[in-house]
Chains A and B, each alone.
Chain A
């Protein structure tokens, strides 16, 4: 029995716009694929097609050995899904939610109740089990949602931005829970906008942009895609930003990303000894005072930037647009 996920040339159009443009993915059984991309890259569309919620306009997809379009019920029997927005019954208690979805997964009443108890324990919700879900905090609701998706012990799990909107503490807690799950051998497709999250949880990362796969590999492999270092400087005076950007440009292999509000300029530059010293000397010669300087090895952010020519962070994109 193969619990992998495969897509071939998956295409989805929204009117004239491609949500997915020939996406090929492969998640081997028992591994974690992090689907990484900015808002609107097609991550949720991919998850929705693979979980039988959405019909693709072209291409095929197999989940757990079944074609999602031909055997949606067989697919549904094998998957657990936790969507981007939590989907719990607000007017039922946490325990009632779990029991209801357990029984809809054809667990017997007794089995559903036992499993609910187990999951409430695991997800630290026992104290809130008898409270209506609408009184839960965002983090609790997210945990309940995750617990519901695990009620049938699915062999294949889809988590669409599982920590979006969570505070840092809940995020780390959720990561720990996901790591435990992965340890038990499920196949996981995880979408995220957070590079750190993909870095933390995924065996392999697929970078998507505008409905296409633009890179795939382990975190380390992707990082070597760009051998350049990243240089960031913070100026004391924001009026000198354009001049500083011109200077940096001479050393850079990428266009400078200027974050005006933070008086920050970031560029990618060749990994070469003495380069930073040279940059600092030139800044000094131009009488540009620096508040902070940073040189570091590339991150996945930089990989995304190298691949697309755009920063992944939506905020940074916006800043860039206003500078231009």
Chain B
């Protein structure tokens, strides 16, 4: 971001008053007095107004959904087919260590994978589309923070991903999968999925503000997902991979989230890599990964968004 001082030519941040007094004393000194009344760029935005704005901006995108029935049908049919194919077709071919049931094993992995793919691709495409529309300029002339505009997009991405999470869960229940460690733990698993989905949504947002148009976003938003998904224990146990890949898969955030969910659902974990921290503390690892990813992607996305839209 360029410093404000450029705007006033030579004026330093605290020099505006003097410069103005010298250059256009009689006509404009009163504006400057007003201009100096406020403390800074966030004046008037409080945590309360921020969250209300985020809520409204999220709702703005969700209100479109009833008018896009094809999108809803797709986000129901796609995970249903995928879940049933994994359970009934691949399930028989994959042998788990200890002879655990594949359906019990794979649902948590499918949920984690679904949330990653859904959130990241929905948000990268969504933001790239927003940037190609004029409405974003209208939003930028409203007294909102840039962060709230982006947060609306990432929230909408997660919520859309949770439609597929819901469908996957229902298909799992139909196929005989059960959460066996109590309702409280099961809910905690969904909270972890939500948090991770939000982190992935911000990764999608960063891609969305970085690519030149929505068509590129459709590709760029998903291409990195495949290694992330397959180099994890989501669908197969890590012990089936080549030895040198096992630590990579072990440290993959998706593996931690999957294992955390398996633990909280009381499903077979079969992590496959011994003696690494995420395998031993999957819940803490999932939360840490999610927060760490957002710590990087949120400021970077806001910065790129501001830089891209204001020049």
Contact = CB atoms under 8 A, between A and B. Distances in A.
Contacts of B8: 60, 67, 69
Contact of B30 (A2, A8, A67): A2
Given A54-B310, A89-B60, A67 B16 contact: yes
Interface stretch (B40-48, B82-90, B159-167, B180-188): B40-48
Interface in B3-28: 4, 6-9, 16, 23-24, 27-28
Contacts of B243: none
Contacts of B141: 51-53, 76, 79, 81
Contact of B2 (A55, A103, A132, A148): A55
Interface stretch (B61-69, B272-280, B286-294): B61-69
B242 interface: no
Interface string B144-188: 100000000000000000000000000000000000000000000
B134 A85 contact: yes
Contacts of B35: 62, 65-67, 70-71, 74
Range for the number of chain A residues in contact with chain B: 35 or more
A318 interface: no
A56 interface: yes
B138 A100 contact: no
Given A77-B44, A104-B142, A89 B64 contact: yes
Contacts of A9: 9
Contacts of A65: 30-31, 34-35
B53 A104 contact: yes
A2 B143 contact: no
A104 B45 CA distance: 12
Contacts of A88: 135
Interface of B: 2, 4, 6-9, 16, 23-24, 27-28, 30-32, 34-35, 38, 41-45, 49, 53, 56-57, 59-60, 63-64, 67-68, 133-135, 137-144, 309-311
8 contacts: A53-B141, A58-B6, A66-B31, A69-B8, A70-B35, A92-B63, A104-B142, A105-B142
Given A69-B4, A91-B68, 8 more contacts: A9-B9, A56-B7, A59-B7, A62-B28, A65-B31, A67-B16, A83-B137, A132-B67
